Amino acid sequence: MHTTWVELDAAALRDNLRTFQQRVAPAAVMAVVKGNAYGHGLAEVADVLRGEAAWFGVNALHEAEALRRDGHEARVLILGTMHPAQAGAIVRGGFSQAVYDHASLDALDQAATRAGTRARVHLKVETGTNRQGLAGSALCHLAAEARARAGIELEGAYTHYANVEEAEEFGYAAQQLRRFEQALARVETNSPVSVKHTACTAAAILYPQTYFNLVRVGIGLYGLWPSAETKRAACAADRTLALRPALSWKCRIAQIKDVPAGEPVGYGCTFRSERPSRIAVLPAGYYEGLDRGLSNTGAVLIGGRRAPIAGRVCMNMTMVDVTKIPTATAGDEAVLIGRQGDAEISADEMAAWAGTINYEVVTRIAAMLPRVVV
């Protein structure tokens, strides 16, 4: 039925989650599903993990509400920015909210008081990433305020590492961990915080000292390594994991064209056939999430063989050279990411072609494309 679609391997997704659960036990695992579950499909991923994940991590309220509409009862932490006007919906949904400013705390307190309940908040601790968060006296003051509010439950505290994915040694991350522990000691002077978390995928793989009692697993949940450095460090420390990519991206050949030698293909005439060629037109372009930087650089799989991209990636179409794949015909399956026969194009390889990271490659696959669970 579909001309361009994403396939989600449910068994791989569950296996990846269980692999991390075993690695970090007794800490719990938060399945991070922000960014449309890293492009894999929020509804589909959450449904596969129903009853498996104790926590879901999202970026924004609309993602949290989508989980509740689908009947998910797992705890949900909104990691991104909230607008004070969203406080009522956050309280009604029973979501936990990251906070690092007084306006958010005030709004949540007022909304919870009106509802006769308490809003659960997680303090974001600034330790050296210099993104969200507070440090020092500002953090302590906000924590004290949270504890003084009848409508607030100070449920958690957390931080995020700046370079734990890209460094093969723990130096800067260790400094951040010390800062977090020092801040936590000040915040917990009068009473403990029940949920503490710092570890992302890379830290979960490599550094048990970062676990506390909750670990946030994002890219690794989907069977992708955070970086080559993480993988090398894991191998060196005998801490590697058997992760299985959960995503394949496919389309069907729309048309095959015979192009004479010397003829251009696509916008800008950036590709000219050096010989009589067979060009396949694919119904996927940069609107669907295929990076324009793959023009004349990337490839797809057709008939278990690589077909190089010929010319520029268009908005909704891409042309590939199938001259060396004589059996290719309209309607055949083309694999943009994934396996076909013995051949494979990984998200990491596509990222290298485009000069980016695997996170961006999968997350930018258009949300409107069908996600098919297999």
Separation of alpha carbons 241 and 20, rounded Å: 9
Select which of 161, 267, 286, 324 is catalytic: 267
pLDDT reported for residue 1: 82
Q: Is the pLDDT reported for residue 56 higher than 90?
A: yes
Known catalytic membership, residue 267:
yes
Please pick, among 34, 124, 196, 231, the residue that the annotation labels catalytic: 34
Q: For 175-224, how does the pLDDT look when each residue is reduced to its tens digit (9 = 90+)?
A: 999 999 999 999 998 889 999 999 999 999 999 999 999 999 999 999 99
Q: Domain 10-236 is classified in which CATH homologous superfamily?
A: Alanine racemase (3.20.20.10)
Mean pLDDT of 10-31: 98
In tens, the pLDDT along 240-293 reads: 999 999 999 999 999 999 999 999 999 999 999 999 999 999 999 999 999 999
**Mean confidence (pLDDT) of the chain:** 97
Task: List where CATH 3.20.20.10 sits in the chain.
Answer: 10-236
pLDDT digits (tens, 9 = 90+) for 91-128: 999 999 999 999 999 999 999 999 999 999 999 999 99
Class of domain 247-345: mainly beta
- 373 pLDDT higher than 90: yes
Average pLDDT on 327-340 reads 98
Checking if the pLDDT of 169 tops 90, the result is no
Residues of the chain with CATH 2.40.37.10: 247-345
